[in-house]
Amino acid sequence: MPQIRYERILLKLSGQVLAGEREHGISQDRLAAVGSEIAEIAGLGVQVGVVVGGGNIFRGTEAERGGMDRVNADYMGMLATIINALAVQDHLEKRGLQTRVLSAITMAQLAEPYIRRRAVRHLEKGRVTIMAGGTGNPYFTTDTAAVLRAIEIGAQVLLKATRVKGVYTADPATDPNAVFLDRVAYMDVLTKGLRVMDSTAITLCRENRLPIIVFDVNTQGNLKKAVLGETVGTLVGEC
């Protein structure tokens, strides 16, 4: 068995990642690829917590710009994360994994309520624990929710899955001069406006010394490399 660097992780999956090459919806091919990666590390004995976004189904910030009340828009975005969580759960269970979906919004017919001790217990029993509904409060992003859950469950690292190699000095899709960064300090993310997570999420990570690894989930094997401690993507930390 390979030597595991991180025994308990929090994997952040954005709605954009689940959409794959599509603009909206859930790509079954991308779901299968991500599910395969999660199954592999769970098979190594890694305790896997997952927080999902909902931007592939509904974006509250865009709805607000269109005139919708921000609070209503944010709650609709939280419901979108639950749809994604159920999709991830369905795929993982078809692979034979034990899973639980915990929601910050009470929805007894679909998910257990999020309770920190319950989430930790599921992880200890080897169940992939998918946490949905954001923080349960408007005005907070799912990135902030991911950091909060990681801290609460005692995750050793937050793995942020993206569709690019890691963190760049600018958007590599629009700026050919963007430079890849293999290590970044928390303060540099805040002061230089690097696109990693929102400032609330980064500040929480900094205050609790929670490292973030931003990596390309489209490259097969990257998730396993990350939990084994191999160099992959960008490490965000105290540097």
pLDDT at 204 over 70: yes
Residue 187 main-chain phi, psi, to 5 deg? -65, -30
Going by pLDDT thresholds of 50, 70 and 90, the confidence category of residue 59 is confident
pTM comes to: 0.94
Q: What percent of the chain shows pLDDT beyond 70? A: 100
Average of per-residue pLDDT across 72-95: 95
Weakest mean pLDDT among 156-160, 173-177, 179-183, 212-216? 173-177
Residue-averaged pLDDT of the chain = 93
Average of per-residue pLDDT across 146-160: 98
pLDDT at 20: 86
Count of CA atoms in the C-beta half-sphere (13 A) of 116: 10
Distances (CA, A) of 136 to 16, 26, 74, 129, 142: 21, 23, 9, 17, 10
pLDDT at 24 over 90: no
Average of per-residue pLDDT across 126-142: 96
pLDDT at 176: 87
Going by pLDDT thresholds of 50, 70 and 90, the confidence category of residue 172 is confident
pLDDT at 1: 66
Segment (H or E) for 122: helix 116-124
pLDDT at 207 over 80: yes
Domain ranges of the chain: 8-237
pLDDT at 10 over 70: yes
pLDDT at 173: 82
Domain at 8-237, CATH class:
alpha beta
Q: Please identify which residue in the block is written with the tokens 């929670």.
A: 210
Q: Would strands 99-103 and 8-13 be described as parallel, antiparallel, or unpaired?
A: unpaired
3-state secondary structure of 42: helix
Weakest mean pLDDT among 53-62, 163-172, 177-186, 216-225? 53-62
Average of per-residue pLDDT across 46-55: 96
Q: Rounded to whole angstroms, how far apart are CA atoms 236 and 233?
A: 10
Segment (H or E) for 101: strand 99-103
